[in-house]
Amino acid sequence: MMTKGVVHLVGGGPGDPELLTVKGKRLIESADVIVYDALIDKSLLDLNPKAEHIDAGKRGGDHKMSQDDINALLCRLAEQGRNVVRLKGGDPFLFGRGAEEAEALKMAGQEVHVVPGISSAISVPEICGIPVTHREHASMVTFVTGHERSDRESDRLDWAKLAQIGGTIVVLMGMSNIPRIADALMGGGLPPSTPTAVMVDGSTERQRVLRTTINDVAEDVEVNGLRAPGIIVIGGCVSTMDKLGDLR
């Protein structure tokens, strides 16, 4: 009788391997197969060198496999009775397509569980001295993607309205669209002097941080040669990094 398979969607955290959860570590160490994303720290795979490692990473235009193929792979491995860890950067559900994978497994009648991860959307600004909320600066925070589905002809996001609601704006996957995002926010009324920070390779030894304004962010990113993966934080909370500095 074949052993029933199981898939755990595990959040790998923002990049620093020490920010993996205890539960995530235990599941990686006991897995038969680890299907991993491009943004995870590869040292996490060393926690279980005996497992089969499958690269399902997607970065920029380089996709090892499509999302449909990943869904099918996870279902197939579970049907084979394998103990699978689907290792994803950050948190599995925050712009991570983890929900789509869980839905596919549920529809196929397979057992699936989720292990939340420390999201880069909060943790990376935090270690750079930026709280996404602060009594003096922001009572709310909005998380947005800077890269919507490629099959959409236009954004569903109304950047002009977003510029008017206040609080902190955290943009993930927006490095390639910074000029358009900045122009749209200022076009919606966001003051050009609004504090803005860009963090790339956050929480890792390669981390780089740029402190600028929404008016200058596109030019400053280009001049400094910053490239994805990166996080953009916009709003008054960014000014706290001038006092707090690097909190790693």
Active site positions, annotated: 37, 58, 173
Parallel, antiparallel, or unpaired for β 33-36 and 52-55?
Answer: parallel
The rounded distance, in Å, linking the Cα atoms of 10 and 98 is 9
Minimal CA–CA distance to 164: which of 135, 139, 191? 191
* Cβ neighbours around 53 below 10 Å, total: 15
The DSSP code sequence of 177-211 is GHHHHHHHHHHTT--TT-EEEEEESTTSTT-EEEE
Q: Which amino acid is at 170?
A: V
Distance of CA 159 to the CA centre of its chain: 20
- Phi, psi torsion values for 39, nearest 5 degrees: -90, 0
**E strands along the chain, which residues?**
6-11, 33-36, 52-55, 58-59, 62-63, 83-88, 111-115, 141-145, 168-172, 195-200, 208-213, 230-234
Tell me the C-alpha to C-alpha distance, in Å, between residue 185 and each of 146, 164, 169, 218: 12, 9, 10, 13
Minimal CA–CA distance to 88: which of 158, 157, 34, 137? 34
